[in-house]
Amino acid sequence: MSMEQLREQLTRIQPLDKDAIQQATQRQQQLTKPAGSLGRLEEIAIRLAGIQGTPIPKIQRRDVIVMAADHGVTREGVSAYPAEVTPQMVLNFLSGGAAINALARQAEAAVSIVDVGVATELHHPQLIERKIALGSANMVEGPALTSEQLFKAIQVGFDVLDEIAHQGSDLVAIGEMGIGNTTAASAISATLLQQPVEALTGYGTGINEQQRQHKIQVLQRAVQQNQPDPHDPLDVLAKVGGLEIAALTGVVIAAAAHRIPVLIDGFISSSAALIACALQPRITDYLFAGHASVEPGHRLILAQLGLTPLLSLDMRLGEGTGAVLAMHILEAALRTHREMATFADAGVSERTENT
């Protein structure tokens, strides 16, 4: 993929359908409940109407896309777990034994696992094998990705989303697996939000405070070395990002182009969404924030995107877990919107005037 093809995809993204929003809003006002009483469920149903371009939207097929890749920066000792966990967890996803598998079964969501850059040879009939490199380079020494790798990774996101859209997906959750990727997410978000890295650096998989201080120093070195340009999201993504984050950026852009709503997950997947929205601000209209991660940077990203998390369960796992859990909330919003009777249908008296 080239810059021109990316630009073309970005120009395909349309505003939400105003008529559908207006009709869905009217319907909400006619349903048998005090006006506004379903709170954010009402807003969700109305926004889904605008995304799908129909007053009574439906979610039938649900998908979660998990992008996996390794990070050269793990050599600096930034994670509580060794890098081998990335391929080991990919195999665990493929045999159905990870948290995302259990939650996806509950939500009846199809799981796609994509190897976009795991640092080990991996083969499995259910694995989407799109390896671009054996992990990113160590961002402390230079750019994490070459420009070619960056565009290839975004293309993987487009291709995987196109395939899922072709199969009729109505809702996509995004997740990731990559030991060391909270470091990349911190570097991306600190740069784009123009905040000091310490404000967006957390404990990841469970490092202690001393190790967090070390992680902050590593991040400062990486930013110093690469000088990512806060006004150039692709420069940031290449210099201090990662292959799975770039691929998720592609998924988010392509989903918005296909008018498919996207549930973003925790800190890492939200940093991919932050890049996508920096490229085309309209994309935020297509996003729902599944949950609020424990990672301190996550709150700051969501504030920047103007998104309120649907759940707050003190989770800090990734894989798409918080996003898939929140599918139940979107379903609930649509159930009430679709199935409730109107005041007229049910013969229920409407609000008294002048009170």
Ligand X SMILES: Cc1cc2ncn([C@H]3O[C@H](COP(=O)(O)O)[C@@H](O)[C@H]3O)c2cc1C
List active site positions: 319
Residues 6+ apart with CB under 8 A from 301: 189, 193, 267, 270, 271, 273, 274
Footprint of ligand X on 63-92 (CB under 6 A) = 79-81, 85, 89
Provide the edge-to-edge strand list for the sheet that holds 262-264: 127-129, 109-117, 61-69, 169-177, 262-264, 287-289
Q: Which is nearer to ligand NIO, 5 or 213 (CB)?
A: 213
CB of 319 to ligand NIO, least distance (A): 8
C-alpha–C-alpha distance, residues 212 and 145, integer Å: 24
For residue 284, give the DSSP letter.
G
Which part of the chain contacts ligand NIO (CB under 6 A), choosing from 28-36, 153-161, 271-279, 314-322?
A: 314-322
- Strands 127-129 and 169-177 come out as unpaired
Residue 182 interacts with ligand X (CB under 6 A): yes or no: yes
What is the dihedral angle through the alpha carbons of 291, 326, 288, 202, rounded to the nearest 10 degrees?
20
If one asks whether residue 205 binds ligand NIO (CB under 6 A), the answer comes out as yes
Question: Binding to ligand NIO (CB under 6 A): which residues in 106-165?
Answer: none
180 lies in the binding site for ligand NIO (CB under 6 A): no
What, of ligand X, ligand NIO, none, does residue 222 touch, CB below 5 to 8 Å by kind? none
Rounded Cα distance between 318 and 295, Å, is 11
- What distance in Å separates the CA atoms of residue 130 and residue 177, rounded to the nearest whole number? 15
178 binds, among ligand NIO, ligand X, none (CB under 5 to 8 A by kind): ligand X
The stretch among 122-130, 175-183, 285-293, 339-347 that binds ligand X (CB under 6 A) is 175-183
Structure tokens at 317: 């796992």
The site for ligand X, by CB under 6 A, has a size of 18
Q: How far apart are CA 137 and CA 15, in angstroms?
A: 37
Exactly one of 182, 186, 191, 249 binds ligand NIO (CB under 6 A); which one?
Answer: 182
What 3-state DSSP class applies to 63? strand
Closest CB 18 distance from ligand NIO, rounded Å? 34
267 binds, among ligand NIO, ligand X, none (CB under 5 to 8 A by kind): ligand NIO
Q: How many residues does the chain have?
A: 355
Segment lying near ligand X (by CB under 6 A), choices 20-28, 233-241, 280-288, 314-322: 314-322
List residues binding ligand X (CB under 6 A). 79-81, 85, 89, 176-183, 204-205, 317-319
List residues binding ligand NIO (CB under 6 A). 182, 204-205, 265-268, 293, 295, 298, 316-318
